[in-house]
Amino acid sequence: MKTGFDSEKYLKLQKEKILSRIQLFDKLYLEFGGKLVDDYHASRVLPGFEPDLKIRLLQELKDQAEIILCINANAIENSKIRSDRMISYETEVFRLIEFLRSRDITIESVVITLFTGQKKVAEFINALKDYKITPYIHTPTKGYPTDVKTIVSEEGYGQNPFIKTKKPVVVVTAPGPNSGKLATCLSQLYHESKHGKKAGYAKFETFPVWSLPLKHPVNLAYEAATADLADKNMIDYFHLEKYGVPAVNYNRDLELFPVVKEILHKILGKDIYFSPTDMGVNVIGKCITDDKVTRTASKDEIIRRYLKSLVELKKGLVDESVPERIKLLMNELEISEKDRKVVKYAEEKKKKSHLPSACLQYNSKFITGRKTGYLSPISSTMLNTIKEITKIPDEVDLISETILEPILEIKNKTSNFKESYLKLGEVLIALSICSTTNPMAKKSLDVLDKLRGSELHATYLIPDDEMIILNNLGINVTCSTDLN
């Protein structure tokens, strides 16, 4: 795969940018937007960007930085799901805690924001205590967003408990959007000022890339990714007016900036930022090495997002406006779902076999599979792909029917929903069992890592359990909304 981004250069420049911002304050509260771990969106639109690059950055800053996690009380109450992993926001909080600790990055506090008595919060707090994490409760801020005098007072931020921190950089992040990261940062600044500390705020946001053109595909891919939030990239008119330099930001930051600026002035006694772009520490645009590669990758991502939004519409997770927004972006770039080649080959396989089918693109090869007597279309396609990579002859069975048949029989005996085939997870378990005695099966498992970054499309609605496995393998997956 061609790369278009220099991760090592980014790591160096981003660290320097953050360290230079730290010098302006006694303590810096750094709001981290986007995904802290497994940022596969960035790695897809910027080939060469490592999904855990932000963690590498924090590891290099670990002597100076610690983490505060925020989670909205409503996300806890409503069991909000992180769609890419199909896990709840609460589960993601604990996953992040364990991951950060495994990398020796300090995490001691979790803030539950917008608390208004949600019942499930008590259980979540008890679980945090089991993890030796100090929970903090923040209620809605009185006066927000119009009455700055009340916001920056004992009636406003003063009602929130002060979160105790030890290091000069406090990274404030969350399992997903609308978790209260900005409000937590500003609340902390208020309390720090009361304690005589010169604390500051900055924002680490990967997208949109302020130094790229407004309609650059990388920035439009961000719009596609946040279509459910109705985010819209815009020229930062505050930055343009102050400096005469065009910069790209997005609607929510621009709308909030006058309030944020006034709050910061009220706390710090002076203006330190004159635009949303001023607040950022984003150097990602300087690390793009091949603009053509990133443009192509971003267009591909927008098509994937469109197909995904159609599935979410079918499931009732979004309304019609979401795919419509993404479709408008595709029209701007003169691209369509027909430009996704695996769609064409999967549909051809379905037309020929009259059965649900799938296609996986590995390098320049397109490998298809269909529903069989024992295998789901995804299982069949994956086994065919493994054979192609390992050069195992097509007539060789990686898993014999004598193994598949009893697994299917037991599965149907223990389930109310009868299925005539085995899904991907079950097939991989069977392959693992066979690998103890079958060298070819072991060889097959060893090549799964090679599938990271490959493309797959299915002609039917892929079940969630198979989708999770495909995502974990790093395969870029889309599917039709057909039920079979």
Give the span between the Cα atoms of 141 and 442, in whole angstroms. Answer: 57
pLDDT value of position 392: 85
Domains and CATH numbers, the chain: 7-220+231-287 (3.10.630.10), 340-479 (3.40.140.40)
Name the region of 453 (left: φ>0; alpha: ψ -120 to 50; beta: rest).
left
Q: List, in order, residues 6 or more apart from 79 with CB less than 8 Å away.
A: 88, 90, 120
pLDDT value of position 433: 82
pLDDT value of position 482: 87
pTM for this predicted structure: 0.90
Per the listing, tokens 């949600």 go with: 118
pLDDT value of position 125: 96
pLDDT value of position 258: 94
pLDDT value of position 395: 77
pLDDT value of position 353: 96
pLDDT value of position 411: 66
* pLDDT tens digits, one per residue of 12-31: 999 999 999 999 999 999 99
Contacts 24+ apart (CB under 8 A), 389-397: 389/362, 389/447, 389/450, 390/440, 390/443, 390/444, 390/447, 392/440, 392/443, 392/444, 396/440
Neighbours of 157 (CB within 10 A): 27
Structure tokens at 335: 């691209």
- Residue 191: φ, ψ to 5°: -65, -40
Neighbours of 237 (CB within 10 A): 15
pLDDT value of position 420: 65
pLDDT value of position 33: 84
Residue 316 amino acid letter: G
Can you list the residues of the chain whose pLDDT is less than 50?
A: none
Q: List, in order, residues 6 or more apart from 276 with CB less than 8 Å away.
A: 203, 236, 238, 239, 249, 253, 254, 257
* pLDDT tens digits, one per residue of 40-74: 899 999 999 998 899 999 999 999 999 999 999 99
Per the listing, tokens 């990239």 go with: 233
